Amino acid sequence: MAEIDIDAPAARVWDVLTSPDELKQVWFGAEVETDWQVGSPITWTGEWEGKPYQDKGEILAVEPERQLRLTHFSPLTGQPDTPDNYHTLTYTLTGNTHLKLEQDNNNSEAEANHSQSMWQTQLEKAKQAAESGG
């Protein structure tokens, strides 16, 4: 789990989490494609440490300015593309404005620690984007 307080309204934070231009900053330069409808696919296309990749998932829940839940799979893990290797990412916005990101299905404590570090960086990027006003 990663969490952060952001000095911006929930509407602005939501925009950062769902706008293709903003997401490129938040998702480490990846192009994010989806229509944000429940059941729709989502893909992240980019380059990580010199390797091109395309992560994928599915939109599970969309509650504007409150919660976004989706699955995520990255072939960079080296694991097979099977349902048990997907993580569920849940972004929750509360108050004025607290953003929390939870991930399930970690295979090990090391994987959980790596993910937490990466997601904390992502939330810091979302905070910077939201507070700068775009």
* Per-position DSSP letters for 65-89, written without gaps between them: TTEEEEEEB-GGG---SSGGGPEEE
Give the structural domain span for 27. Answer: 2-132
Among the listed ranges 21-30, 52-61, 106-115, which one has the minimum average pLDDT value?
106-115
Nearest to 77 by CA among 41, 36, 105: 105
User: How many domains is the chain partitioned into structurally?
Assistant: 1
pTM recorded for the entire structure: 0.84
Express each pLDDT in 85-94 by its tens digit.
998 999 999 9
Residue 4: per-residue pLDDT: 94
Angle among Cα 119, 129, 100 to the nearest 5 degrees reads: 35
Pairwise CA distance, residues 65 & 69, whole Å: 12
CATH number at residue 13: 3.30.530.20
pLDDT top residue among 119 and 81: 81
Phi, psi of 82 (to 5 degrees): -130, 155
